[in-house]
Amino acid sequence: MTDISATLEAKSDQLNAVDIIGAEPIIRIREVRVTQGEQPVAVYFDGDHNRPWRPSKGMRRILAGAWGTDSAAWVGKHAKLYFEPTVKYAGQEVGGIRIRSLSDIPAEGMKFAITINRSKREPYVVPLLKIEAAAYPAERFAKALPVMAKKMQDGEMTLQQVIAQCQKTGQLTEDQLAELEQAAPKEPVVADNNDDEVM
């Protein structure tokens, strides 16, 4: 076997940076699992399609600094995530998931430092994420669901991109999130683009 195509695909058992390109989803944490290994923390959230976010060590340090080291205390809190193309792995820029803002921190936000390499650290500011209580209108959701489902099935948008787009209008209910998860492909499709704002 000499074809490396399969090795180029993103891992489908976790949230990947490519899933949120062009979107900044707000996640509500529902469970955190801590294990051993290279990616020891799995953050499960509403609408995760059973694909947790596995934060990097730098992002784990920010979560711990903001909310404490007991991950059980993170449940119910919110984080806004984004794709950062300059994140490096093994010396190469591959992109990664970073935290844009967090709920349940001081109103003035918090300041951290993240390690870029062995000799360089950069300041990292995390603003307070204010959660609006407005719900996504049920009638609008019902009308948009077939369009959103088609975009996911066709690979134009990922589940997380759809959720992030919806969040610009209002917070999705658990039932709405479940409907989107059901409409999403079982194997994640890398989105070509997310220019269309149909939601």
- Whole-number pLDDT of residue 35: 93
- Whole-number pLDDT of residue 26: 93
- Whole-number pLDDT of residue 93: 79
Give the predicted TM-score (pTM) of the model.
0.78
- Whole-number pLDDT of residue 64: 96
- pLDDT, mean of each 10-residue run, the chain (199 residues): 50 86 92 92 93 94 96 96 86 87 96 82 93 86 95 92 90 92 76 45
Angle formed at CA 134 by CA 132 and CA 136, multiple of 5 degrees: 125
Question: CA distances (Å), 42 to each of 52, 60, 67, 134, 136, in order?
Answer: 6, 10, 16, 28, 27
Please tell me the distance from the alpha carbon of residue 185 to that of residue 116, in angstroms, as a whole number: 35
124's enclosing H/E stretch is strand 120-126
What SS3 class is residue 16? coil
User: Which residue is it, tokens 């891992």?
Assistant: 11
